């Protein structure tokens, strides 16, 4: 079952409406709907909050590693078949092209599997800023791989 379907299933099992879940999480009902319909994905910290509201473990909703690796796999260009050694080399050269902060944040997320909140604490910035940096860096990485793996 997909992540959104699992959230909906657990929410319905608790007889909690989308609005009630949204209120408990301080988000909009529309966002809960987007999660459940697969149009958006909550980060792992939000999954932990959802689990707390629904009285289940976060792992019952989603595995943290799966979420992190899915984020990273979206950087591989469609149809690209990059052998492991080449991908390692490309990743290392990409990291060298980033600023020290961008590279550090990227490595903390995708090598050490740290949450945005944990990384934010390391850098003394807000977790939304970390998510923004990661999003922009993934776009750069995908572009970088597309240009060099062709």
Give the domain CATH number at 15.
Answer: 1.10.260.40
pTM of the model: 0.69
For 103, other C-beta atoms within 10 Å of its C-beta total 15
Give the domain CATH number at 123.
Answer: 1.10.10
By the 10 Å C-beta count (0-12 exposed, 13-18 middle, 19+ buried), 58 is classed as: middle
Same domain, 92 and 139: yes
Domain range for 53: 3-62
| 150 residues of the chain, pLDDT tens digit each | 688 999 999 999 999 999 999 999 999 999 999 999 989 888 888 898 999 999 999 989 988 788 788 888 888 888 788 888 888 899 999 999 999 999 999 999 988 888 888 999 999 999 999 999 999 999 999 999 988 876
Same domain, 27 and 88: no
Same domain, 74 and 140: yes
Same domain, 98 and 76: yes
38 alpha-carbon distance from chain centroid: 14
Measure the CA–CA gap between 136 and 117, rounded to whole angstroms.
17
């Amino acid at each position: 079952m997909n992540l959104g379907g699992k959230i909906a299933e657990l929410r319905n099992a608790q007889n909690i409406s989308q609005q009630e879940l949204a209120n408990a999480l301080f988000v909009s009902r529309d966002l809960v709907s987007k999660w459940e319909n697969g149009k958006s994905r909550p980060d792992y910290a939000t999954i932990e909050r959802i689990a707390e509201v629904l009285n289940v473990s976060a792992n019952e909703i989603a595995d943290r590693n799966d979420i992190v690796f899915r984020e990273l796999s979206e950087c591989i260009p469609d149809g690209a078949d990059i052998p492991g050694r080449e991908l390692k080399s490309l990743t290392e050269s990409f990291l060298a092209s980033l600023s020290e902060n961008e590279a550090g944040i990227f490595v903390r997320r995708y090598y050490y599997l740290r949450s945005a909140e944990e990384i934010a604490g390391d850098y003394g910035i807000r977790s939304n800023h970390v998510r923004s940096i990661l999003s922009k860096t993934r776009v750069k990485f995908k572009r970088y791989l597309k240009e060099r793996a062709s």
